[in-house]
Structure formats: structure tokens, C-alpha cells
Amino acid sequence: MNPVIELQQLEKYYGTTHILKGIDLSVSAGQVIGYIGPNGAGKSTTIKILIGLIPDFLGQASVLGMDVRKDTLEIKRRIGYVPELASLYDSLTPLEYLQFIGKLHKLEPAMVERRTMDLLRLFNLEGNANDRMTTFSKGMRQKVLLISGLFHNPDVVFLDEPLSGLDANAVVLVKEIIRQLADSGKTIFYSSHIMDVVERISDRIVIINQGQVIANGSFEELKELRASGSLEQLFTQLTGNDEQVSIAGAFVQTINQ
Ligand SMILES: Nc1ncnc2c1ncn2[C@@H]1O[C@H](COP(=O)(O)OP(=O)(O)OP(=O)(O)O)[C@@H](O)[C@H]1O
């Protein structure tokens, strides 16, 4: 089966800073890929390249067999993207915003209205459908972003920190949505810092560090790299930051001086 997402020797410079140093990755349909790494490792940059937001990179990147440099519009039609920082048109209401998203995807207006209300209700936001989003909490905004990224039923979904700001019930709901989307054949590529979630819902976990893939496999396979119990422990060991206790001690000592 052809890969749904493929990266070959992906490199990215910002100015003279080498951020991605040759990422190779191949993802099949129906997989949930957890793409993790330390702050600043290049996760959002990789996602932005895959969705066509960053065209200047080296190497090859394709989504659904299409070149992300050339087939930008067709790719955008078939993917969903939930960005890292809530960049919503705040002065709109969720109803207005999702109608706007529906128009961008050329969806039928009556269906857009019906789907909007149904999805807002499922996220407990039906009472806020006509409120300006300037008044929304972080989690409420994140829910609207999640709905807008999935609204047009995309084949491939890119989620950058999708659980940011969500309460425990919403986290469980989003995890289940991700699982059920993948079970129905959709491909989910997401980054997150919440290791126990990544551990539980990913078919494959890809860890990047200093611009390179340092681990790529199921959680069971990754565990064989080190004799550690959890993904959190494995992550801190592999990314060279397993001195958090002494760093925390130094931090507290510094503010006490
Ligand atoms: N537009 C930009 N111009 C210059 N440097 C950038 C730009 N965007 C990102 N960077 C740098 O590229 C590196 C990777 O950033 P990126 O946002 O991809 O990291 P990330 O892995 O998503 O991090 P986080 O976990 O903190 O969200 C960082 O060092 C960042 O400072």
C-alpha cells in the first residue's frame, strides 16, 4: 500500500540555523502517529511543511501521494489541520467561524449549519454558539479549532498539541475521536507533550531530537530500546534530559539566594 505521508531526507533551515537535518518517515493509512520531541525540536515545522505552509525546505515531502510543493490546494482539500496556538478569528462566534470554514471547503450551507450545531453540542458548546470567541476560555477555543479541523471529514489529520487546555472529559473524548477516525481508515499525525496519551493512542511513536529521528516504532518496540517503564521515562532518557530532579533543585536554590 502506498504511504499516506512520506518524508525523504527532509531538511529545514531558518536562516543559517539547521532545524531539521534529514527526516525520513513513511506512514500508512489508518495509523495514529505520535510525533514527539523536546521544545524547539521541529515538530510544528514538520507539520507546517506537510500541510504546505512552509514551501522552502530540502528533500521530498508528500501527502496522499501528492507533492506538498506542487499540489498544495488539492492537499488542503483533503487534510485537516489543528494548529498549535489558537489562531481564531476572535471577533466571530463559533457559528460564524464554522460557516466560514464550511464556505472555504465549498460545503452545502444547510449541511454546514446542521453539522456545526451537532458538533458544538457534542463538545458542550451549543449554549455558546452565538457568543463572540473573545470571551472563550483556552479550552473552549481549542474545541472550536478541533471541530474546524475535522469539519470537512478529511482523510489525513494533522494535530499540533490537540489536547492543549482541554479538561479531562474533553481529553478522553478527543482521544476516542482520534482512535475511531483511525479505525475508519483516516491517518492521524499529531504532536503532543502529554506522554501518557501518546503512549496509549499511537500506533507508532516517532521521537525527534536535534533535527533527527532518534526512535520510530510502536510503544512496545520503543520500550526495547531501554528498560524503562513509561514513555515519559524513555523520552527523558533518549533526549538526554534525565537530570530533572537536580535541575529542579538548582532552580529552587537559585530563587532562594
Ligand atoms: N519562523 C521562524 N523563524 C525562525 N526560527 C523559527 C521559526 N519558527 C520556528 N523557528 C525555530 O525552529 C525551531 C523549531 O521550532 P518548532 O516550532 O518547529 O518546534 P517544536 O518542536 O514544535 O517546539 P514546541 O514543542 O516548543 O512547540 C525552534 O528553535 C524555533 O525557534
- Cell matching residue 184: 475508519
What integer best gives the mean pLDDT of the chain?
Answer: 90
How large is the ipTM?
Answer: 0.97
Q: Return the pLDDT at 41.
A: 93
3-class DSSP string for 33-94: EEEECCCCCCHHHHHHHHCCCCCCCEEEEEECCEECCCCHHHHHHHEEEECCCCCCCCCCCH
Q: Return the pLDDT at 87.
A: 66
Q: With a cut of 80, say whether residue 53 has pLDDT above it.
A: yes
HSE-up (13 A, CA, CB side) for residue 95: 12
Q: With a cut of 90, say whether residue 236 has pLDDT above it.
A: no
pTM (two decimals): 0.91
Q: With a cut of 70, say whether residue 190 has pLDDT above it.
A: yes
- Over range 69-74, report the average pLDDT: 90
Ligand 1 site, residue 239, Cβ cutoff 6 A: no
Ligand 1 site, residue 185, Cβ cutoff 6 A: no
Q: What's the rounded Cα separation, in Å, for the pair 188 and 181?
A: 8
- 229, 196 in Cβ contact below 8 A? no
Q: Which of 11, 14, 239 to mutate to test the pocket of ligand 1 (most atoms within 8 A of CB)?
A: 14
Q: What is the pLDDT of residues 126-140, one digit of tens each?
A: 999 999 999 998 889
Q: Return the pLDDT at 7.
A: 97
Domain topology for 5-256: Rossmann fold (3.40.50)
Dihedral pair phi/psi, residue 142, rounded to 5°: -60, -35
CA of 45 to the centre of ligand 1 (A): 6
User: Nearest C-alpha to atom 28 of ligand 1 is from which residue?
Assistant: 40
Q: Which of 44, 56, 194, 239 to mutate to test the pocket of ligand 1 (most atoms within 8 A of CB)?
A: 44
- Cell matching residue 16: 543559517
Give 133's contacts (C-beta < 8 A, 6+ positions apart).
88, 89, 90, 91, 92, 93, 94, 97, 140, 141, 144
Ligand 1 site, residue 41, Cβ cutoff 6 A: yes
How do the domains of the chain map onto residue ranges? 5-256
Q: With a cut of 70, say whether residue 55 has pLDDT above it.
A: yes
Q: What's the rounded Cα separation, in Å, for the pair 135 and 138?
A: 10
Dihedral pair phi/psi, residue 78, rounded to 5°: -105, 0
Positive or negative, the CA dihedral 127, 133, 138, 143 is positive
Ligand 1 site, residue 43, Cβ cutoff 6 A: yes
Residue 128 DSSP label: G
Helix (H) or strand (E) run with residue 234 in it? helix 231-238
Ligand 1 site, residue 12, Cβ cutoff 6 A: no
Question: At residue 70, what is the residue type?
Answer: K
Label residue 85 by pLDDT band (50, 70, 90): low
Give 83's contacts (C-beta < 8 A, 6+ positions apart).
145, 160
Q: What is the pLDDT of residues 223-232, one digit of tens each?
A: 887 766 788 8
Ligand 1 site, residue 44, Cβ cutoff 6 A: yes
Q: What is the pLDDT of residues 161-170, one digit of tens each?
A: 988 888 888 8
Give CA separation, 68 vs 14, 143, 197, 207, in Å.
19, 27, 29, 22
CA of 14 to the centre of ligand 1 (A): 9
- 184, 177 in Cβ contact below 8 A? no
Q: What's the rounded Cα separation, in Å, for the pair 174 and 252?
A: 36
- Cell matching residue 62: 508528500
